[in-house]
Every structure is written in structure tokens, then in C-alpha cells.
């Protein structure tokens, strides 16, 4: 039997130890992409005497099992405090330091060769001026940049918009700027992650899986202008098996960018076909970047899933991890077991 624990550092003081049984619940939410990771701390303030961090103050969360050790869940700035009664409780809400600092400054500038020849170079530029370490998947790092306009956008939002056209996802985690293909399963350091195996009788407590009708757009279309041929050129993706075509309204500057955009959109529609929520025995190493593999549950559930959100929940009932997933951008996990 493993013994779960949490630490809440406020400076050099562990508030979890100071509060003791008055700390009734803590939830850390790890989001995929540029959504801010968050924390919620619930306190029993029956006597109205608890001393707690105020807004704009920073706390660090660590959690795990005594027998294994702690995993740092992140640094958070308190951005909301809820006081309720009766009974009297306090709920502290915080957002990740990385996400809050990244969203502040908006810039307007143009990015193009020779200064910025590739998406990798663009990520390096943005990481350097924000004090992050860039980790870019090789396939995306090599994507050429012809001209990209950043108009009153924060650096992460701008880079995320550009990467999305090429099937990429941007995340800021623990001082790293990560640019990776959607559903790639890449850690904050850029390392490919092995999937977490979910199995009945091992770590799975309960689950819920939903499948939807296939997306009405069987074909995705975009266009660009071929200056040599002096004509519009259409590109597409999808099997054309259902419904009307989805068409991008604006033309793309090159055929390569148009093709990347339609491929990314087709993959996004594929991911939306299925959703799942798995409640597991607490696993502090589980993060939104890590894929999961479900084995020996049942047809329609077994197979590879891509997390969108991971919640780590500590309470008097113990420690659980809740993983909200979608299907990968290619293939179909229904009843395949792989």
C-alpha cells in the first residue's frame, strides 16, 4: 500500500504541513497546449483563523507517494480566493507562472527569411526573448517560413497559430517552449514519452467513453495561387466519404502551407470523433503530454488515446488521477486493442 502526500511551498514553508487536517482537498489540472495549468486548494476554515497566501503570491506544488518520492507539479500564482460559509471554507485558485507571464506582452512585427527561415528558427527567437528553452520536433523545425505577420499577439498565441497550420501544438511547461505534432506524446524537454498503460485491476478505477457520428466534412480543401502558372491551385485531404467539403476561406501563401493546413484540419476532425475519461489510482508522473494505452477493458475502449487534460486530486479519500482524452488524429481505436 502506497502512502500519498502533498507539499505546498510558500517560500520555505510547507503549508500542507502547517495546515494539517484543515487542508481538505487539492486539485492540480494539467492542460494540453497553451491553456494555463491550474491549482485549487480547499481549506476548512471553521474558526476563521487560517493564514493563507493572498492573490499575486506564488506557491509550488509537489506530490507523490512517500515510498517513491515527490514529483513537482509546478509553480502557481494565486489569482483568486473564494471565502464561503457555512461551514466556512477557503478555496485558493492559482494559474501556472509560465502561462501568466507569457500572456502579458503583445507584439506587432513581421517574421521572414533570412532572419527567420524556418518554424524552428521562429521558435528559437520567441524562446530566447522570453527566457525559455525551445524544444521543437524535427519535422516541424524544418518547416520553411515565407512570411508571418504577428499583429498585436502574444508570442505564444502567435507561435501556436502558426504551428497549428502545420499540425503542431505549442505548450509552455516548466520553462520550456515545446513545439510538437498534435498527439505526438512529447515531454517538456522534447523527449518522446512512452504511453501510460491503463488496465482493469491494475490502475483503472472507472471510465466513460463516447463515440460520435463521423464528422460531416469528408473532404478538407484549401487554395493557393501559383504565380508561375498564374492560376489558383486547390489542395485537399480526407476521403470524401461523407457530407460537404470544409473549405478554408483565405488563400495560403504556398501549396505546402495549404496542404499542411488541410492535413491538420482533417486530423483535428478525426480526433473529435471519440472522447474518454479515465479515473486512475494516483499517478504523479501522468501529464497531458503523455499518451495512454488502454488494454483488456472492452471493445470500443481498448487502444491508444490522446489526453487533453489531466487532473491530480488529493483528498481525505486518497489520491486519484483523472485523464480526459480524445482519439488520436489518425486511425481508430474502436475495438482494435492497439
188 assigned to some structural domain: no
SS3 content of the chain, % helix, strand, coil (to 5): 15, 45, 40
Per the domain annotation, does 144 fall within a domain? yes
Where does a domain end: 80, 100, 120? 100
Domain for residue 190, yes or no?
Answer: no
Task: State whether 79 and 153 are in the same domain.
Answer: no
Question: pLDDT per residue over 18-46, tens digit each?
Answer: 999 999 999 999 988 888 899 999 999 99
β-strand pairing of 133-136 with 176-181: parallel
Give the angle subtended at the CA of 274 by the CAs of 269 and 279, to the nearest 5°.
135
Do 156 and 241 belong to one domain? no
- Grid cell digits, residue 284: 504523479
Give the span between the Cα atoms of 182 and 171, in whole angstroms: 11
Is residue 331 over pLDDT 50?
Answer: no
Distance of alpha carbon 17 from alpha carbon 35, whole angstroms: 30
pLDDT, residue 53, reads 96
From the list 40, 83, 35, 84, the residue with the least C-alpha distance to 59 is: 40
Query: Rounded to whole angstroms, how far apart are CA atoms 167 and 257?
Result: 11
- Cis before 87 (ω within 30): yes
Q: What is the extent of the structural domain holding 314?
A: 196-212+273-326
| Torsion angle defined by CA atoms of residues 22, 28, 29 and 31, in that order, rounded to the nearest 10 degrees | 160
142 and 228 both lie in a single domain: no
Is residue 96 within 8 A of residue 33, CB to CB? The reply is no
pLDDT of residue 332 exceeding 50: no
30 plus 77 within the same structural domain? yes
Q: For the chain, how many structural domains are there in total?
A: 4
CATH number at residue 43: 2.40.10
pLDDT beyond 70 at 58 = yes
- The larger pLDDT score, comparing residue 232 to residue 59, is at 59
Residue that finishes a domain, picked among 100, 130, 148: 100
Same domain, 260 and 290: no
Query: Under a CB-based contact definition with an 8 Å cutoff, are residues 166 and 264 in contact?
Result: yes
Of 42, 69, 100, the residue at which a domain comes to its end is 100
**Same domain? 42 vs 113:** no
Residue 333 lies in a domain: no
Whether residue 217 is predicted with pLDDT greater than 70 in this model: the reply is no
- CATH code at 147? 3.55.50.70
- In a shared domain, residues 309 and 277: yes
Amino acid at each position: 500500500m502506497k502512502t500519498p502526500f502533498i507539499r505546498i511551498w510558500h517560500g520555505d514553508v510547507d503549508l500542507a504541513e502547517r495546515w494539517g487536517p484543515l487542508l481538505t482537498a487539492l486539485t492540480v489540472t494539467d492542460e494540453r497546449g497553451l491553456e494555463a495549468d491550474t491549482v485549487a486548494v480547499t481549506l476548512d476554515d471553521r474558526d476563521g483563523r487560517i493564514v493563507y497566501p493572498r492573490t499575486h503570491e506564488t506557491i509550488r506544488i509537489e506530490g507523490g507517494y512517500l515510498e517513491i518520492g515527490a514529483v513537482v507539479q509546478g509553480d502557481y500564482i494565486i489569482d483568486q480566493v473564494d471565502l464561503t460559509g457555512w461551514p466556512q471554507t477557503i478555496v485558493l485558485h492559482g494559474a501556472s507562472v509560465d502561462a501568466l507571464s507569457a500572456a502579458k506582452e503583445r507584439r506587432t512585427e513581421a517574421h521572414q527569411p533570412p532572419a527567420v527561415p524556418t518554424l524552428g528558427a521562429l521558435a528559437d527567437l520567441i524562446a530566447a526573448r522570453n527566457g525559455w528553452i525551445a524544444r521543437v520536433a524535427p519535422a516541424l523545425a524544418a518547416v520553411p517560413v515565407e512570411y508571418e505577420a504577428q499583429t498585436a499577439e502574444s508570442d505564444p498565441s502567435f507561435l501556436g497559430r502558426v504551428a497549428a497550420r502545420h499540425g503542431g501544438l505549442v505548450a509552455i511547461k516548466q520553462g520550456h517552449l515545446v513545439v510538437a505534432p498534435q498527439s505526438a506524446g512529447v515531454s517538456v524537454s522534447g523527449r518522446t514519452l512512452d504511453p501510460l498503460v491503463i488496465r482493469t485491476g491494475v490502475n483503472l478505477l472507472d471510465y466513460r467513453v463516447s463515440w460520435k457520428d463521423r464528422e460531416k466534412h469528408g473532404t478538407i480543401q484549401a487554395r493557393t495561387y501559383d504565380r508561375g502558372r498564374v492560376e489558383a491551385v486547390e489542395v485537399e485531404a480526407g476521403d470524401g466519404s461523407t457530407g460537404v467539403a470544409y473549405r478554408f476561406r483565405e488563400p495560403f501563401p504556398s501549396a505546402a502551407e495549404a496542404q499542411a493546413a488541410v492535413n491538420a484540419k482533417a486530423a483535428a476532425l478525426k480526433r473529435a470523433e471519440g472522447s474518454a475519461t479515465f479515473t486512475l489510482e494516483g499517478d504523479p508522473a501522468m501529464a497531458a503530454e503523455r499518451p495512454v494505452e488502454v488494454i483488456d477493458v472492452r471493445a470500443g475502449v481498448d487502444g491508444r488515446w490522446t489526453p487533453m487534460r489531466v487532473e491530480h486530486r488529493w483528498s481525505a479519500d486518497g489520491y486519484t488521477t483523472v485523464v480526459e482524452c480524445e482519439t488520436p488524429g489518425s486511425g481508430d481505436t474502436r475495438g482494435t486493442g492497439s
